Amino acid sequence: MRILITGGGTGGHIYPALAIANRLREENHEILFVGAEEALDREIITREGFTFKSIPVLPLKRRFSFSIFKFGIKFIMGFFRAFPILFNFRPQLIVGTGGYSSAPVALAAYFLRIPLLIHEQNLYPGLTNRFLSRFAREIDITFPEPKEYFKKRKVKITGNPIRIEILDRDRKKALKNLKLYSGKFNLLVFGGSQGAKAINYCLAQILKKGLLEGKGLQIILLSGFFDFEYLIQAAKSSKIPLLIKPFLHNMADAYGAADLVISRAGATTLAELTACSLPAILIPYPRATRRHQEYNACFLAKEGAAMVILENDLSPERLADSILRLMEDRERLKKMRERSRGLGMPWATDRVVESIYRLGKKKAEKDRKGL
């Protein structure tokens, strides 16, 4: 089959798409990605060996401004740019994983009567997926809660697809690859594919004040590119063993080494944490659409797999105290790990791929017959 995958703008949309694409590539299906011209999607997707085509499109601002006219112009341009891509590739199915770049492509595909499957990662559905749901043949969701936002007959609970290499974790191998000490408590800190300024700043203050020194831990910090140099400077006076990188492509090593994670609460991050049975302190991004990260984080906390600190309540002292309390309470940490494992859905990719085969099969048969 020929499958076109669209969606992106953040790692939360890109990585589920890549998990699906890699699984389909194993079965020798043809894959094409389409996304925004100026997003980080191209670099990540082409690095994985997939073809990427771009269209002009901009995100929609949540409050009214004159930028809405620019958004409208770009949307129309992206919509018409999608048609030659669709005519040339002739996909049997469109898979949308959310994000503003998927809407023009999916809408053009609807006019060409190409089946559309969308995947929603969050507890609260994004604006794009809510818009596209009326055109989709099927809506695959991660959590049961989004059912109320979509037509029930279209909904299937699949979980959130994750990269298969994430599951291939080996602590000894990870420590060796990352050049970390063995026998220490490993704290993994990251804010998503682009970093998180609030988390980075808070950790910098913890390092400067020495709040975690002498506690037998080492830190893996994935800062994003914007705050990398700032954190390198902040860490110079720290006695804690540190690995600071702007980005890490092989997250299996980071997860494999980690005893505790501090992160945002994007759906893809949480899917990976639970698949890897990792306990976490979650600091949801407060300006996410309709506070969906806060809903995601509270769901995990309610299930006993995580602690939540809202960004408004975040301080170096509070974060350091939360880390130390969990380090000292190994029984609680063990229970969090067990609860995290219970929420994990490592088979989610296969369930989405089953839907793709079912929906794309009829179109593929018609194409073979020349109908």
Indicate which CATH number applies to the domain containing 38. Answer: 3.40.50.2000
pLDDT classification of 149: cutoffs 50, 70, 90 = confident
Neighbours of 93 (CB within 10 A): 26
3 has a pLDDT exceeding 70: yes
For the chain, the average pLDDT equals 90
**Whether 13 and 103 share a structural domain:** yes
**Whether 217 and 364 share a structural domain:** no
pLDDT at 369: 65
357 has a pLDDT exceeding 70: yes
pLDDT at 167: 83
- Are 258 and 220 in contact, with CB atoms under 8 Å apart? yes
185 has a pLDDT exceeding 80: yes
pLDDT at 302: 95
**Whether 215 and 282 share a structural domain:** yes
pLDDT at 142: 87
At 282, give phi and psi (nearest 5°). Answer: -100, 135
Average pLDDT over residues 16-35: 94
**Whether 54 and 94 share a structural domain:** yes
Which tokens go with 80?
């018409």
Q: How far is CA 33 from CA 89, 143, 251, in A?
A: 11, 25, 22
pLDDT at 321: 97
Locus of tokens 């401004």: 65
**Whether 187 and 65 share a structural domain:** no
198 has a pLDDT exceeding 60: yes
Q: Which of 50-59, 80-89, 256-265 shows the lowest per-residue confidence on average (mean pLDDT)?
A: 50-59
144 secondary structure, DSSP code: S
**Whether 173 and 309 share a structural domain:** yes
Angle between helices 316-328 and 197-209 (to 10 degrees): 80
pLDDT at 11: 65
pLDDT at 85: 97
pLDDT at 204: 93
* Cβ-based neighbours of 74, under 8 Å, separated by 6 or more: 56, 57, 58
145 has a pLDDT exceeding 80: no
pLDDT at 192: 67
337 has a pLDDT exceeding 60: yes
**Whether 13 and 145 share a structural domain:** yes
Average pLDDT over residues 20-25: 95
**Whether 208 and 257 share a structural domain:** yes
Locus of tokens 């194993």: 26
| 207-237 tens-digit pLDDT | 999 999 999 999 999 988 888 898 999 888 8
| 230-242 tens-digit pLDDT | 899 988 889 999 9
What percent of the chain is predicted at pLDDT more than 90? Answer: 65
Q: Which of 47-56, 67-76, 269-278 shows the lowest per-residue confidence on average (mean pLDDT)?
A: 67-76
Domain that holds residue 296: 165-343
Closest CA relative to residue 347, chosen from 166, 169, 168, 158 = 158
pLDDT at 79: 95
pLDDT at 290: 74
| 309-330 tens-digit pLDDT | 999 999 999 999 999 999 999 9
Closest CA relative to residue 267, chosen from 304, 295, 245, 239 = 295
| 243-265 tens-digit pLDDT | 999 988 889 999 999 999 999 99
371 has a pLDDT exceeding 60: no
> Where do the H-state alpha helices sit in the chain?
11-26, 41-47, 67-89, 102-111, 127-132, 171-178, 197-209, 228-234, 251-257, 267-275, 292-302, 316-328, 330-343, 348-369
111 has a pLDDT exceeding 70: yes
Number of domains in the chain: 2
* Cβ-based neighbours of 65, under 8 Å, separated by 6 or more: none
**Whether 45 and 121 share a structural domain:** yes
pLDDT classification of 123: cutoffs 50, 70, 90 = confident
Q: Measured between alpha carbons, how far is 229 from 216 in angstroms, rounded to an integer?
A: 25
**Whether 84 and 196 share a structural domain:** no
User: ∠20-167-302 over CA atoms, to 5°?
Assistant: 90
**Whether 84 and 122 share a structural domain:** yes
**Whether 191 and 320 share a structural domain:** yes
